[in-house]
Structure 1
């Protein structure tokens, strides 16, 4: 690891900063961190003795979430060694929890990069590390204590009749608290929105409309929700509205809690808030408050709506349990997942494009028709059976895979050659600058400027060569099953594959099929068959797998 006390060396450094809230972003705390890190670097290395190669800034990211775009990039760049040290204002900017701090610090230090903090000394020996750990644990404890105080404070406020909200329920306006006269905030009825609320309750309670029918009617009447990117109502929003007791004057608090979504609509890798979904608690756990809320509807209509929602749910076709072998694996040609749908007016089950569900109540943008689920299930399962029981078919796929592997290796070898030539050019260029400095043609500052840029480019090419060599090695050393192993697998599969129940078949589908692109004319199936006997018999397991 580099010696941070070496003031003669010209240091290549990086800065890492993080703020967790939009308020902190507005208050420029990220700029404050950068200013402090610059001042610290001046004192630590001396002005002119270092170059800031890159600043890694995560704005609006919680310290409890270690998956952050800039932190991930910092960890990748640390392995490339494009800088000698990273400066961070405080350990809690790296992560809130001590264990996560240690994980990232050890990862960076293991590749020979220094981690330096502005507010605390970096641990140099075992005693320092123990003290640093104790400090981190106390900081965690203090944060937990503050969090609990906030929770108890909120609870006390609610029980004393205060409203804890940033935005009023639909149908109400929120009049903020008067701090001078010490009057709590309160709700007043928004007559325009209240008229819509009364209509929605009447449609469900009196007319027996389903939530989707309510959405369609609101769309036809051009009544938009208060907040919506698409400008249309959502069935989940209506479900929450129709169950909220505030509309009959019974306010409550703590009816739900934040959870990590099981099937998030946003599949992006980086999520600023992990627990972006909410789960309803049992009503017995709700905290009834003394908050005076003017009722918009009567209790009788509210209870009618509750019963109608239960009836609608019981009659909903989606709640009929049907078996879909390809569920979760089949997609439409437009890229949207297809979902199983029970019989409407006929007797068949279908895999239909979910585009119409996502776009509702707007018109769908995909016109692909449904696929008969039983026919699709049978075709795919039959093909998998053929592969799993035929040594000839499996051997053919393995040989095809070998050819693909050889073809992949050729461009990798070419890439290594190109990168090595560029690396040699940069090395020769570096040598020329050093000779020029030795002959007095360049000053030390000019040399540092040129060499820093060259070394950065060299590090990039070295990283490319390393990655290509690793990929080439992985391809070259991939195991190949023998004919005997293939024969054992197919024989055992043939004995049991016709006696499998639906759940076992679906498990095999999930482990072999990667993705199915389906239309009414064709099914394109991609995946791999692991040569293991887990689902056909309990005997020897093989570690090989090949794309089907």
Structure 2
């Protein structure tokens, strides 16, 4: 059977006018018959091999159904020389004759050279098109223009002038979200509470949906654009174009570029820098600060970490000489726990008293708290976190090398099992690299003195409303969580990390 392979991508159809119908018509002329099978790929880039029509053609060639293939010219098969050579070699091994409408392909040194040159030129042309598009977008961003409409909540896109304009109705909601998240209130608790409140208030999302999801609220809180700085060129999407035709494990993931490559453009401000910076500090602890209550209450729930093994320390009830006691422990009994802990425990009453005593002193001596918050604890905490992630990266890379060596020596472990573990380690490594990038970004924010002062002012305002003699468990817990990011405990030392 004779096959005709026609392909166009949007840019090529506009440029050359060689439509699918044209290629089919010319292919039938070349074949001298209408008895042909068509394998069209309309709207698919030749930069990737994974295309529906091409995949089916290769399968039918493999099954021996095709004896001759007619194509307009080599760059219809693929835009990259290497892919062209892979395809043609695959066809030739099955004894299939490959014919081009716009030129003869002979198995001679001259013909092979001509074919390779055409492929190289085609690949170069594709690369130039990509380069021109990328350069054009970058130049537009460098001129202070918004490249494309990202449909940011709080803004409308002015396409004619390539800029964002404030949408006043949505901007009021953005300010409300930041206020509810950063200031003590009796309306909502946490990101999920804000999402429920917006839904119950019948406020539509950007796309007009009636329901707000907590992830949408979180994205708004994380978005620096509301401070008047819109970051472009943040994400590297190279290679993602062909994802829809690839297997899940082969899909190219979007990668965050280094902060130094981001291009900032000015846009209307909706919130202050202080509000944004304070929200970023709280976001890291949002899950733990608003975690669901268990059967027993623990004053430092979600804040304690073992300074030896890095496990979080959770509250538990246990027996000590027949008496019920409450402890914080780093021991993890779940079957899937990667780190079982080093066995560090401390009585809740002892640690609670030490931490509350320090918080109480800070509230009565705010100058000491401000100095600790801004000058020392924050930087130490993030440097410690960065070192921990870097150690995890080293372990992950070492594990990957070990698996590859195991695969090459064939120690009896299944190939698919090794591939699965390698994919998991690759995902782990990518996640750790992303965390490092986020830490670098957060560190520059955390060092700002003004946001530290703002945090302390909000806490003091909340504290002064209360009667010190009648502080409830909830009052103390709220104050602790507003001031403290983490309590790192070892048998020799207690390090209280503030925001």
TM-score by length of 2: 0.53
Q: Could you tell me which residue of structure 2 aligns to residue 14 of structure 1?
A: 3
- Structure 2: how far apart are the matches of 1:540 and 1:66? 31
Cα contact 1:15–1:88 (8 A) shared by 2? yes
Q: Does 1:51 align with 2:35?
A: yes
Q: Which stretch shifts more, 309-318 or 216-225?
A: 309-318
Cα pair distance change 1:82/1:211, threshold 3 Å: same
TM-superposed CA distance for 1:210, in Å, is 4.0
- Structure 2: how far apart are the matches of 1:297 and 1:202? 10
Cα contact 1:85–1:116 (8 A) shared by 2? yes
Q: Could you tell me which residue of structure 2 aligns to residue 252 of structure 1?
A: 231
- Structure 2: how far apart are the matches of 1:161 and 1:78? 52
Q: Does 1:310 align with 2:284?
A: yes
Cα contact 2:202–2:210 (8 A) shared by 1? no
- Structure 2: how far apart are the matches of 1:97 and 1:346? 61
2:270 pairs with one of 288, 291, 296: 296
Q: Could you tell me which residue of structure 1 aligns to residue 131 of structure 2?
A: 148
- Structure 2: how far apart are the matches of 1:113 and 1:168? 50
Cα contact 1:19–1:30 (8 A) shared by 2? no
Q: Which stretch shifts more, 116-125 or 103-112?
A: 116-125
TM-superposed CA distance for 1:197, in Å, is 1.5
Cα pair distance change 1:281/1:59, threshold 3 Å: farther
Cα pair distance change 1:249/1:149, threshold 3 Å: same
TM-superposed CA distance for 1:76, in Å, is 0.8
Cα pair distance change 1:540/1:299, threshold 3 Å: closer
**How well do the aligned residues superpose, as a CA RMSD in angstroms?**
4.7
Q: Could you tell me which residue of structure 2 aligns to residue 139 of structure 1?
A: 122
TM-superposed CA distance for 1:319, in Å, is 11
Deviations 1:370-412 (A, max 9, x none): xxx957679xxxxxxxxxxxxxxxxxxxxxxxxxxxxxxxxxx
Matches within 5 A, 1:21-36: 21=10, 32-36=19-23
TM-superposed CA distance for 1:74, in Å, is 1.0
TM-superposed CA distance for 1:207, in Å, is 4.2
Residue 284 of structure 2 aligns to a residue whose secondary structure is helix
- Structure 2: how far apart are the matches of 1:29 and 1:270? 32
- Structure 2: how far apart are the matches of 1:30 and 1:17? 13
Cα contact 2:51–2:245 (8 A) shared by 1? no
TM-superposed CA distance for 1:229, in Å, is 8.8
Matches within 5 A, 1:53-202: 53=37, 55-177=38-160, 184-202=161-179
**Structure 1, gaps ≥5 residues long:** 1-11, 178-183, 323-341, 349-372, 379-502, 512-533
Cα contact 2:182–2:275 (8 A) shared by 1? yes
Deviations 1:424-477 (A, max 9, x none): xxxxxxxxxxxxxxxxxxxxxxxxxxxxxxxxxxxxxxxxxxxxxxxxxxxxxx
Deviations 1:292-326 (A, max 9, x none): x221122221111122123337869899999xxxx
- Structure 1: how far apart are the matches of 2:173 and 2:105? 61
- Structure 2: how far apart are the matches of 1:158 and 1:374? 52
Cα contact 2:190–2:286 (8 A) shared by 1? yes
**Structure 2, gaps ≥5 residues long:** 292-301, 307-311, 319-331, 338-394, 418-499
- Structure 2: how far apart are the matches of 1:15 and 1:320? 67
- Structure 1: how far apart are the matches of 2:315 and 2:254? 35
Cα contact 2:236–2:256 (8 A) shared by 1? yes
- Structure 2: how far apart are the matches of 1:64 and 1:319? 50
Q: Could you tell me which residue of structure 2 aligns to residue 456 of structure 1?
A: none
- Structure 2: how far apart are the matches of 1:100 and 1:229? 44
TM-superposed CA distance for 1:106, in Å, is 0.9
TM-superposed CA distance for 1:84, in Å, is 2.0
How many residues are treated as equivalent by the alignment? 321
Deviations 1:350-389 (A, max 9, x none): xxxxxxxxxxxxxxxxxxxxxxx957679xxxxxxxxxxx
Residue 214 of structure 1 aligns to a residue whose secondary structure is helix
Matches within 5 A, 1:459-474: none
Deviations 1:472-511 (A, max 9, x none): xxxxxxxxxxxxxxxxxxxxxxxxxxxxxxx9xxx9xxx9
Residue 82 of structure 1 aligns to a residue whose secondary structure is coil
Q: Could you tell me which residue of structure 2 aligns to residue 426 of structure 1?
A: none
1:218 pairs with one of 198, 209, 219: 198
- Structure 1: how far apart are the matches of 2:414 and 2:252? 38
Cα contact 1:174–1:187 (8 A) shared by 2? yes
Cα pair distance change 1:194/1:63, threshold 3 Å: same
- Structure 1: how far apart are the matches of 2:84 and 2:237? 25
Q: Could you tell me which residue of structure 1 aligns to residue 258 of structure 2?
A: 281
Cα contact 1:68–1:270 (8 A) shared by 2? no
- Structure 2: how far apart are the matches of 1:319 and 1:275? 37
Cα contact 1:33–1:89 (8 A) shared by 2? no
Cα contact 2:26–2:101 (8 A) shared by 1? no
Cα pair distance change 1:345/1:195, threshold 3 Å: farther
Deviations 1:197-228 (A, max 9, x none): 12222222224954444334334444443249
